Amino acid sequence: MDNNNNHLSAKQVIAQTIAYLTSQIGFELREANNIALILLEAATKQPIQYWQLNGSSTINPNQYTQINEWLQTLKQTGMPVQYLLQKTWFYGLPIQVSPQVLIPRPETEELVRIAIEVWDAQQNGNKHPDIIVDAGTGSGCIALALRQYYNNLNHDELKIIAFDISLHALDIAQSNAYALQLPIETLQIDLAKPQTWKSSNLPAKIDLLLSNPPYIAQHEAKSLHPRVSQHEPHLALFAPDQNPLFFYEQLAKMAAQFLTSQGLIAAELNPVYATETAQIWQNYKLENIKIHLDMSGKQRIITASKN
């Protein structure tokens, strides 16, 4: 970006930033647009919504310089901007992130939206879930988005449990819950060890089980952008090469064991293995299995119920 242009409007700075991110660092347009807004918000300490309404307002030279410095760091290190700023947005909520947790993606917002829609359709809009479990919570973004959503519906009796194997992740999830004043319960649970589930303080019955589990096979690592493969936690990204659907089988076991009658399970999945994932869930007697497309038209979300 041109360091001589120190009195540009926010709209011009956004356009310049997007151009730099796409041409110099290789971001796709949609992601570049999101990053430009995140950088502008961080530099000016004004929320994105403010700049969307006041795009013609100018930003000061120090703020412009800060954005330039961040762009240089992004180009030189390849670090995801969310780790650089230790913050991202998910379902309208500011979420703290670190290299110990996966950066929430728009596809995971789709998981939350679809889970709510399918639940409401199954219940004919007559009942909200009373117990929700987020398996492999990471930053806590799924659990917190659902807490906010149901708070807005005055469903105060709702209990949300977020579990992860990583204590670092649980610390971040709790920090986010505290900062947002959205109470959730966190537990350290290993999804890979079903023999420990009953003794782990999981509730005996779960209405809604959600997860964005590790679903990238090790042999697919080369196809990932270095921003992902070199910076995000492999524990949250990769499934075992010999059994890339391992965690989906674990989720099916958990659903079969803990879901209430008419309970719902929803998970993000690898489009490459969508059909195989559905077959595994069918083997565990899950019903109403449906694969949903994401915003790019890829098979990305799977839902099923227990009757």
- DSSP characters over 169-191: HHHHHHHHHHHHT---EEEE--T
Measure CA of the first residue to CA of the last residue in the chain; give whole Å: 58
How many whole angstroms separate alpha carbon 151 and alpha carbon 27?
35
Of 128-137, 239-248, 275-284, the range with the lowest mean pLDDT is 239-248
Residues 235-246 have a mean pLDDT of 73
How many whole angstroms separate alpha carbon 47 and alpha carbon 237?
30
Supply the pLDDT for residue 28: 87
- What confidence category does residue 233 fall into, taking pLDDT thresholds of 50, 70 and 90? low
- What confidence category does residue 237 fall into, taking pLDDT thresholds of 50, 70 and 90? low
User: What percent of the chain has a predicted confidence (pLDDT) above 70?
Assistant: 89
How many whole angstroms separate alpha carbon 83 and alpha carbon 249?
31
Supply the pLDDT for residue 54: 87
Which amino acid appears at position 216 of this protein? I
pLDDT in tens, 17-27: 999 999 999 88
Q: At residue 4, does pLDDT exceed 80?
A: no
CATH value of 100-306 in 3.40.50.300, 3.40.50.2020, 3.40.50.150, 3.40.50.2000:
3.40.50.150
How many whole angstroms separate alpha carbon 280 and alpha carbon 290?
13
Of 3-17, 66-80, 275-289, the range with the lowest mean pLDDT is 3-17
Supply the pLDDT for residue 101: 94
pLDDT in tens, 161-177: 999 999 999 999 999 99
Supply the pLDDT for residue 231: 58
**pTM as predicted:** 0.87
Supply the pLDDT for residue 239: 65
Q: At residue 158, does pLDDT exceed 70?
A: yes
- What confidence category does residue 5 fall into, taking pLDDT thresholds of 50, 70 and 90? low
Q: At residue 273, does pLDDT exceed 80?
A: yes
pLDDT in tens, 55-93: 899 999 999 999 999 999 999 998 898 999 999 889 999
Residue 137, classed as helix, strand or coil, is coil
Of 218-232, 250-264, 289-303, the range with the lowest mean pLDDT is 218-232
Q: At residue 219, does pLDDT exceed 70?
A: no
| Residue 159 CB-half CA count within 13 A | 11
Q: At residue 229, does pLDDT exceed 60?
A: no
Helix axes 61-77, 10-20, angle to 10 degrees: 10
Of 77-86, 129-138, 297-306, the range with the lowest mean pLDDT is 77-86
Residues 97-121 have a mean pLDDT of 94
User: What percent of the chain has a predicted confidence (pLDDT) above 90?
Assistant: 70
Supply the pLDDT for residue 224: 57
